[in-house]
Amino acid sequence: MDRAILLLSVMCLGVSSQPNADNQRLFSIAVSRVQHLHLLSQRIFSEFESSLQMEEQRQLNKIFLQDFCNSDYIISPIDKHETQRSSVLNLLSISYRLVESWESASHSLSGGSAPRNQLLPRLSELKTGILLLIRANQDPSEIITDNSNFQFVPYENNYHNLDDDESLRKTYELLACFKKDMHKVETYLTVAKCRLSPEANCTL
C-alpha cells in the first residue's frame, strides 16, 4: 500500500510540474528569439552608422537624444528597479505591444540588407510566442486574443518623398528605436523567465 501511494504521489508530481516545464520551455524559446532580434538590430544599426560621415553621426545622435520613439507611448518600467517589481504578466503584455508595434514598421527596414528581410517573420514568431506565454500565465477568464486589449499607434509610414537629410534622419531614428525596443523586450522576457525559478537571482 505504501509503495502504491508513493508511486501515485510521484505520478501526480510529474503531472503538476508539466505546465511549469512547458512554460519554461516557451520562455526559453522566446528569450532566444528576442536575443537574436536584438543582435540583428544592433548589426543593422551598426552597418548604417558605418556608412555615415563622422559629422553626420554626431548630428544624428544629438537629434535622436532629443526625440522620442513612437513606442514610448507604451507605459513601461522607467528603470531596472521598476522592471524587477513588475509582474510577469505585465512584462509579457508590454513586450507583446512593443513587438506588435514593429510588425508594420519592419517593412521600412526591409530593403538593402539581407538580414533586414528576416525581421518580419521573426517578429511574427516572437509575437505568437509571447501571446502563448500570456495565455499560460493569465487567468482563463481574462485570456486575450491578438486584437483585443492591445490598441497601439503604429509607426507612421512617412519615410517616402523626403529630401536626403530628412530621409537620413528618419532612417537613423527608426533603426535606433528598433534597437532600443528589442533591448527592452529582451530585458522584460529575461526577467519574466527568471521569475519562474525561485532559486534564481533576477537582479539586472
What confidence tens digit (pLDDT) does each residue in 93-135 have? Answer: 999 999 999 988 887 775 555 567 788 889 999 999 999 999 9
* Threshold 0.75, pTM exceeds: yes
Kindly tell me if the per-residue pLDDT of 64 is higher than 80.
Answer: no
Q: What percent of the chain has pLDDT over 90?
A: 33
| Res 38: pLDDT | 95
| Res 62: pLDDT | 76
Length of the chain: 204
In eight-state DSSP terms, residue 155 is P
DSSP string of 84-119?
HHS-HHHHHHHHHHHHHHTTTGGGGG-SSSGGGGGH
Determine contact, residues 128/18, Cβ cutoff 8 Å: no
Q: What is the mean pLDDT of the chain?
A: 77
Kindly tell me if the per-residue pLDDT of 33 is higher than 80.
Answer: yes
Calpha distance 177→69 (Å, rounded): 6
Calpha distance 178→101 (Å, rounded): 10
Residues 133-151 have a mean pLDDT of 61
The set of cell numbers assigned to 47 is: 552597418
| Res 109: pLDDT | 74
The set of cell numbers assigned to 185 is: 523586450
Calpha distance 43→39 (Å, rounded): 6
| Res 7: pLDDT | 37
pLDDT tier for residue 54 given thresholds of 50, 70 and 90 = confident
| Res 9: pLDDT | 39
The set of cell numbers assigned to 137 is: 500565465
